[in-house]
Amino acid sequence: MIVLSGMIGAGKSSLTNILAEHLGTQAFYEQVDDNPVLPLFYANPKKYAFLLQIYFLNKRFASIKRALADDNNVLDRSIYEDALFFHMNAEMGRATEQEVQVYDELLDNMMEELPYAAHKKAPDLLIHLVISYDKMLAHIQKRGRPYEQPQNDASLVDYYHNLLDRYQQWYQDYHYGPKMQIDCDKYDFVDNLADRQAVLRIIDKKLQERKTLDN
Ligand SMILES: Nc1ncnc2c1ncn2[C@@H]1O[C@H](COP(=O)(O)OP(=O)(O)OP(=O)(O)O)[C@@H](O)[C@H]1O
């Protein structure tokens, strides 16, 4: 299983589709626009932060179990990033220490079940999308989900900057398996065909290296 990570609007879902099509495998992605808790969370983060995490945990665990069935299935977001979001939200006073503790223990407990549920413990490769604040905001504006727009809620500027700051450290600390980064300011894999091919070549090379190491 290959897993994407990176900021809101970085392009995880798009690259998930592109990569799964390229590899001839299955794409698994979260239907963000069908998520009933997300708009509630953005409108009242303090009340809904914990519920949102439980919602995501449940959904992502279900996808992981299905995606792990094949080495090259592609999943649009890693479950490990949720803890980054939740810990930050807790620091912002949107969740209690007890909620964080319950969440962290539940996550650990569920992840321990994975080898039994899916015969594998962790992704074969993590592809982390790196993006600047300006580029990310341009994507968010183009996509137009109302609750993600800083012009509707000025506190989102700090929220996004805060998340961006933490992501690099999160990537450095990620230790569950092989990993690589793609620079989304450099490669426009959605609208530019040459960039898309370049990104696929970089990923193919990494997958090839992994295969050689495994054999
Ligand atoms: N664990 C979480 N806690 C709080 N909000 C989250 C969490 N995970 C995702 N979100 C929110 O859900 C929405 C979708 O996020 P996500 O980054 O998965 O998809 P996306 O923005 O469509 O990404 P991409 O454009 O890279 O495919 C965003 O508004 C994000 O802030």
- Domain extents in the chain: 2-214
Ligand 1 pocket check for 8: Cβ under 6 Å: yes
Contact (Cβ atoms closer than 8 angstroms) between residue 57 and residue 105: no
Ligand 1 pocket check for 85: Cβ under 6 Å: yes
Rounded Cα distance, 7 and 164, in Å: 7
What is the number of other CB atoms lying within 10 angstroms of the CB of residue 24?
7
pLDDT given at position 119: 67
CB-based contacts of 157, cutoff 8 Å, min separation 6: 150
pLDDT surpasses 90 at 21: yes
Asked if the ipTM is above 0.90, the reply is no
Q: What is the CB-side half-sphere exposure of residue 110 using CA atoms within 13 A?
A: 18
pLDDT given at position 205: 96
pTM metric for this prediction: 0.92
Query: 180: which strand partners?
Result: 127
Ligand 1 mean position, distance from CA 59 (Å): 13
Mean pLDDT of all residues in 86-91: 96
Residue type, 33: D
Q: Which residues are catalytic?
A: 76
Give the rounded percent of residues in the chain with a pLDDT score beyond 90: 79
- CATH for 2-214, among 3.40.50.150, 3.40.640.10, 3.40.50.300, 3.60.15.10? 3.40.50.300
Ligand 1 pocket check for 124: Cβ under 6 Å: no
In whole angstroms, what separates CA 109 from the centre of its chain? 20
**pLDDT tens digits for range 187-215:** 999 999 999 999 999 999 999 987 777 76
Rounded Cα distance, 166 and 84, in Å: 8
**pLDDT tens digits for range 100-126:** 999 999 999 999 887 776 667 778 899
* DSSP code of residue 126: E
